[in-house]
Structure 1
Amino acid sequence: MYDMDTRMRALDLLADGRSMNSVSQETGISRSTIRAWRSRVQPLPHLLNQATPCAGPADSASYAYLLGLYLGDGCISPHPRGGQYLRIACADAWPGLIDQCRTAITAVRPKDKVSVLQRQGCVAVTSYGRHWTCLFPQHGPGKKHERRIVLEGWQQEIVDVHPWEFLRGLIHSDGCRVTNWTVRNGKRYEYPRYFFTNKSDDIRKLCTDTLTKVGVRWTVLARGSDPFNVSVARKDCVALMDAHIGPKY
């Protein structure tokens, strides 16, 4: 049995034009196994919604983080001459987040260049490549909260292995760590809290399902009649989030 990273690396080498013999020699995987993996990959015109991407992420932990960023503040647009642009919007107030985003993109697709385009109040961390739509099959027309968002099986495998990286990406895109306060018996008490806010019911469920899997208790705070806010406020759960995620910087 081969893990996801091994399979993705072999498929990526094939996608870059390497022969099956050379990939077999470099990876130590038999040609029959590589041929079976390749047979499950749909041709280029049918990249969306496929079971296995045509060229998988070079680093699955970085991909889990980047997936969280993409679901929050990412988009993909076509290039007139083929290929696609991946863009992740990052606020100017978080230079550390911008650096982490660039690092994650480079780790996922080492051969694709990454640039930063300044916008009003934010930057778009941008990368051109041939495989962004198959790496993020959730891409589609319209806003994310107006269409179905479901992870492919291979994506869920990665999230299951790297749940905290995925949650970190979600929190770094559409979440925050704040300090709330209350008054009890005339004394002011302050306590930290995490929020994740997204209009998509599907994306919020991906967040809450993953929080539950790692043992974090959460609640939903409605904004009016809209349950857009996922809250983590229990002391032990906040401490767990601090250990694995921490505030943006």
Structure 2
Amino acid sequence: MYDIATHAHTPALPRTRRTSAPCPRCRPVSALPDDTAAYAYLLGLYLGDGCISDHPRGGQYLRIACADAWPRLIEACRSAILAVQPTGSACLLQKQGCVMVTSYGRHWKCLFPQHGPGKKHERAIVLESWQQEVVDAHPWEFVRGLVHSDGCRITNWTTRVVNGERKRYEYPRYFFTNVSDDIRRLYTGTLDRLGVEWTHCSRGGRPYNVSVARRASVALMDLHVGPKG
């Protein structure tokens, strides 16, 4: 939820060629990243657990925090970064309980204009028109990135009395938790377009949690999103 990163233990600035690869957003011939599906997924990850920080000698670091418990998520994040910036690199920096998937580049702010000082939920988060075009073309990739960053798939249970006997029933459920009203609206708005039913689950009167629990909607989420792995 933060867009501020310290420079402690910052990797050395990579050596760059005299002619660096053009930015897909700065090129006059293209307004979109080459791999728009990978970008939609990475956008979801960034809005959930990503930040961008300036390097003192130019360029920026994109960092996505991924919990150690999800090694396949770490690799999926790394693959998405390399697909969006194929001439760059993505290294894994171990932190307590998580890995920071980190990539240096000179145009990460171009690709993620939602970057800004402070916490994401304290400022407006609005997609630019070209980003919305990407999300409209790859809505499930965007939802998958959001769920893989700030969501989870869990098994809930309840009991019912049937013929005088109390029985336990289990059912799967997806949760998405984010303090930013704007990011939650991006998530629920995309779910609406995909035909996924959802509800808000308030805690202390604050609707930070979005739940998908109806069987048909969970089946759609299982088909296109699935657990973090």
TM-score bucket (shorter structure): 0.7 to 0.9
Greater share of helix? 1
> Are 2:18 and 1:38 equivalent residues in the alignment?
no
Amino acid at match of 1:59: D
Q: Contact 1:58–1:110 at 8 Å: present in 2 too?
A: no
Pick one of 191, 195, 215 that aligns with 1:211.
191
Q: Which 4+ stretches in 1 moved above 3 angstroms? A: 14-17
Pick one of 193, 196, 204 that aligns with 1:224.
204
Distance across 2 between alignment mates of 1:38 and 1:172: 33
Distance across 2 between alignment mates of 1:166 and 1:90: 17
Q: Contact 1:102–1:114 at 8 Å: present in 2 too?
A: yes
**Deviation, structure 1 residue 169:** 0.1
Amino acid at match of 1:129: G
| Structure 2 residue runs without a partner (length 5+) | 1-18
Taking structure 2 as the reference length, the TM-score comes to 0.86
Question: How far does the alpha carbon of each residue in 1:25-67 deviate from its partner, in whole angstroms, 9 at most, with x for none?
Answer: xxxxxxxxxxxx739x9xxxxxxxxxx5xxx422000000000
**Deviation, structure 1 residue 147:** 0.5
Q: Which residue of 2 aligns with 1:95?
A: 71
> Are 2:62 and 1:72 equivalent residues in the alignment?
no
Amino acid at match of 1:38: P
Percent of residue pairs identical: 71
User: 3-state SS of the aligned residue for 1:216?
Assistant: coil
Q: Which residue of 1 aligns with 2:107?
A: 131
Pick one of 213, 222, 226 that aligns with 1:233.
213
Taking structure 1 as the reference length, the TM-score comes to 0.79
Question: How far does the alpha carbon of each residue in 1:159-197 deviate from its partner, in whole angstroms, 9 at most, with x for none?
Answer: 000000000000000000000000111111000000000
> Are 2:174 and 1:198 equivalent residues in the alignment?
no
Q: Which residue of 1 aligns with 2:21?
A: 16
> Are 2:124 and 1:119 equivalent residues in the alignment?
no
Q: Which residue of 2 aligns with 1:245?
A: 225
Q: Which has the higher contact order (CA 8 A, sep 6+)?
A: 2
Q: Contact 2:173–2:213 at 8 Å: present in 1 too?
A: yes
Distance across 2 between alignment mates of 1:183 and 1:76: 46
**Deviation, structure 1 residue 15:** 7.6
Q: Contact 2:21–2:87 at 8 Å: present in 1 too?
A: no
Distance across 1 between alignment mates of 2:20 and 2:141: 27
Q: Which residue of 1 aligns with 2:118?
A: 142
Amino acid at match of 1:187: K
Distance across 2 between alignment mates of 1:206 and 1:125: 24
Distance across 2 between alignment mates of 1:212 and 1:15: 40
Q: Which residue of 2 aligns with 1:104?
A: 80
Q: Contact 1:145–1:200 at 8 Å: present in 2 too?
A: yes
Amino acid at match of 1:16: A
